[in-house]
Amino acid sequence: MAKQLVQKAYVIVGALVLMSSTLVAMGPATPAGAAFTYQAKHAGGTLHLLASTAGGTLDPQVNYTLQYWQLYQASYDGLVSFQKVSGLPSFDVVPDLAVAMPKVTNGGKTYTFKLRTGIKFSNGKTVTVKDVLASFQRIFKVSNPNAGTWYNDIVGGPGCVSKPATCTLSGGVVVNATTNAVVVNLIKPDSEFLDQLAVPFGSIVPANTPGKDEGDTPVPGTGAYMFSKYNPNTGLTMKRNPYFKVWSAAAQPPGYPDTIEMTFGETVESEVTSVENNQANWVFDPLPTDRLQQISTKYASQLHVNPLTADWYAPMNTNLAPFNNLKARQALNYAINKNDVVNLYGGTKLGQPTCTILPPGFPGYKPYCAYNSTSSSTYKGPNLVKAKALVKASGTAGDKVGIVVTNDPVNLAVGQYIQSVLNSIGYKATVKPLSANIQFTYIQNTKNKVQISVSQWYQDYPAASDFLNVLLGCTNFHPGSDNSINIAGYCDKAINAKMQAAETLELTNPAKANTMWGEIDQAIMTTGAPWVPLFNPKLTDFVSKSTGNYQFSDQFYMYVDQLWVK
């Protein structure tokens, strides 16, 4: 779900063992993994959510932001979905619109689903296999951000990527209206295919939904709620789906509020004050660092802190001076004091310095720190002596370096800190702040000649390849394109081959594959150092005193629809 998730407040990550919410003060604490028990007495009311800006298009097959993905959990369903429970089991994929998990045959290349019967969209029409086929085709027709990387393994996918308008996925998705069967044929086995179907891109929408980004127009879904109003300038409203009936509480539990409203346009400071004054229920945006002390002291019972499987990192352009020189990249890895960066984010309770690409607790994670003040697998501090020596050895001292960051306070502060570090080891650095709306695509496009930037990555689903292959694989480097998520432009063919091998191994031996991913992580940082991994963040959710039943998914974060309005 990528970098757009950044718009949330985050801080460090500890081990996933710690992943259960550290503070669940309001409402009953549901044990991790236990299905939610619906308590009708808490139903009703209007939930007021606040976000400083809208999250873009409302189309679930196009939008790629946490802001709306959190809302989609209660409004859309795929054939499968991530389990709606708290804790680690929220990473598990369960059947949703499908009766059961698919039957996998043909060496992992054929998935056979059976669609549930009697489920209706929020417009009253019954969900049929035709809608399923059309939804698969629509992924390509709307040029879904990951159509070319996730879904082009479906037979016919590559043709749909090149000619979206005429996409049929002939032979790729075969449906039978009589048996309600949906057969998906892949070109090659893909161990992450079900994860990719379980995110909102895999939502099943009516077959007559136009094959274009619907933008501000709500698309009917099957979830407990439906979008009834959307104005990117003012806000959105979700009402109960009148046709919704529970078919699987693990996949789509009933929600509590009658209405969910998200208002746009206030400053974050104002949002926080509104929640403090009980005028709103929740703040989507990252909490201002200046208010953290007050909130965590005076409103401690209303603040929830959860570790995330995410990275804050500084990708260095491996194809552009000075960072086309390995020694220069290693120098910066030695020079940056990650504890200082954590302080800029809000302190050690909100972030944990990291040296690896994979977050702690993630599949394949192995503690390791190649660039450290002392030899240790955990981060201890910077080594400026080594850093300066490497800069000198690289012959890049005196080079000008531009650091492209978003212009929000924390990113800007991190950028200014990196500027200070670069200047101290011999470079002439400048900070280039850009609006968050454009920075993410700007730093991906090689035409912009970005030397180094500050970015964030939040898992789409729990698989090592979602970090290593997506962010540093050769196939995800597209020079001249805004959609080149391998921002560092790093391409080591030997390591890329190992990543392909690890992905194949996942199908038969996940444990061994994860060991391999850990080795790949270490190899990338040791031999390539394309990033400076900075820290793993934690997420802070601040709710009002009249808000109860806070539940947290490790996959999609707070369950908005499970909140009680007291």
Partner 1 sequence: MGEIGSTNELSTVDLVAIGTTTARGPESPWRSSLRQLRRNKAAVGAFALLVFVITACLLAPVYAHSIAHENPFVSNLNGTIRLGGKTVQVLQANTQGLGLGVTPIGPTWHFSTYFLGADSQGRDVFARLLYGGRTSLFIGFISAVICCGVAALMGLVSGYFGGAIDWLISRLFDIVWAFPIYLLAISLSVVLLTSGLNIAFIHIEAGSLVLPILIIALVFVPYVGRPIRGLVMSLKEREFIQAAIGAGASDSHILRKEILPNVMPSIIVFFPLMVAFNMLTESALSFLSIGVQPPAASWGTIINDGLDLLYTRPWVAMAPGIMIVITAGALNVLGDGFRDAFDPKAKLRGSI
Residues that bind partner 1 (CB under 8 A): 11, 23, 269, 288-298, 300, 303, 305, 337, 339-340, 343-344, 346-350, 407, 409, 412-413, 416-417, 419-421, 423-424, 430-433, 540
In whole angstroms, how close is the CB of 415 to partner 1 at the nearest point?
9
Nearer to partner 1, 100 or 300 (CB): 300
H-only helix segments in 351-492 = 384-394, 409-424, 436-442, 468-472
Nearer to partner 1, 288 or 528 (CB): 288
Cα of first residue to Cα of last residue in the chain, in angstroms, is: 32
Determine the longest span between alpha carbons in the chain, in angstroms.
72
289-298 helix and 268-276 helix, angle to the nearest 10 degrees? 10
In whole angstroms, how close is the CB of 341 to partner 1 at the nearest point?
8
Question: Three-state SS for 296?
Answer: helix
Residue 338 CB neighbour total at 10 angstroms: 25
Nearer to partner 1, 149 or 419 (CB): 419
326-335 helix and 384-394 helix, angle to the nearest 10 degrees? 160
In the numeric block, which tokens belong to residue 276? 């403090």
Nearer to partner 1, 78 or 382 (CB): 382
Nearer to partner 1, 141 or 304 (CB): 304
In whole angstroms, how close is the CB of 288 to partner 1 at the nearest point?
6
In whole angstroms, how close is the CB of 157 to partner 1 at the nearest point?
39
Nearer to partner 1, 94 or 305 (CB): 305
In whole angstroms, how close is the CB of 41 to partner 1 at the nearest point?
30
Measured distance CA(135)–CA(202) in Å, rounded: 8
Measured distance CA(101)–CA(88) in Å, rounded: 19
- Asked if residues 383 and 371 have their Cβ atoms less than 8 Å apart, the reply is yes
Residue 100 CB neighbour total at 10 angstroms: 11
In whole angstroms, how close is the CB of 432 to partner 1 at the nearest point?
7
Sheet strands (E) in 116-234: 173-176, 181-185, 225-231
In whole angstroms, how close is the CB of 520 to partner 1 at the nearest point?
32
Measured distance CA(419)–CA(523) in Å, rounded: 27
In whole angstroms, how close is the CB of 289 to partner 1 at the nearest point?
6
Measured distance CA(54)–CA(67) in Å, rounded: 8
In 3D space, the residue among 499, 470, 463 whose CA is nearest the CA of residue 487 turns out to be: 470
H-only helix segments in 163-316 = 193-198, 268-276, 289-298
Measured distance CA(486)–CA(494) in Å, rounded: 16
- Taking each continuous run of H as one helix and of E as one strand, the counts in the chain are 14, 23
- Asked if residues 288 and 10 have their Cβ atoms less than 8 Å apart, the reply is no
- Asked if residues 521 and 357 have their Cβ atoms less than 8 Å apart, the reply is yes
Nearer to partner 1, 421 or 472 (CB): 421
Nearer to partner 1, 300 or 501 (CB): 300
In whole angstroms, how close is the CB of 410 to partner 1 at the nearest point?
9
Measured distance CA(263)–CA(110) in Å, rounded: 44
Nearer to partner 1, 203 or 419 (CB): 419
H-only helix segments in 247-396 = 268-276, 289-298, 326-335, 338-345, 384-394
Nearer to partner 1, 211 or 409 (CB): 409
Q: Which residues contact 34 (CB under 8 A, 6 or more apart)?
A: 85, 86
In whole angstroms, how close is the CB of 305 to partner 1 at the nearest point?
7
In whole angstroms, how close is the CB of 418 to partner 1 at the nearest point?
9
In whole angstroms, how close is the CB of 409 to partner 1 at the nearest point?
4
Nearer to partner 1, 94 or 539 (CB): 539
Nearer to partner 1, 348 or 504 (CB): 348
In 3D space, the residue among 541, 566, 20, 565 whose CA is nearest the CA of residue 284 turns out to be: 541
User: Residue 482 region, left (φ>0) first, then alpha (ψ -120 to 50), else beta?
Assistant: alpha
Residue 270 CB neighbour total at 10 angstroms: 14
- Asked if residues 484 and 447 have their Cβ atoms less than 8 Å apart, the reply is no
Nearer to partner 1, 259 or 289 (CB): 289
- Residue 92 main-chain phi, psi, to 5 deg: -80, 140
In whole angstroms, how close is the CB of 141 to partner 1 at the nearest point?
36
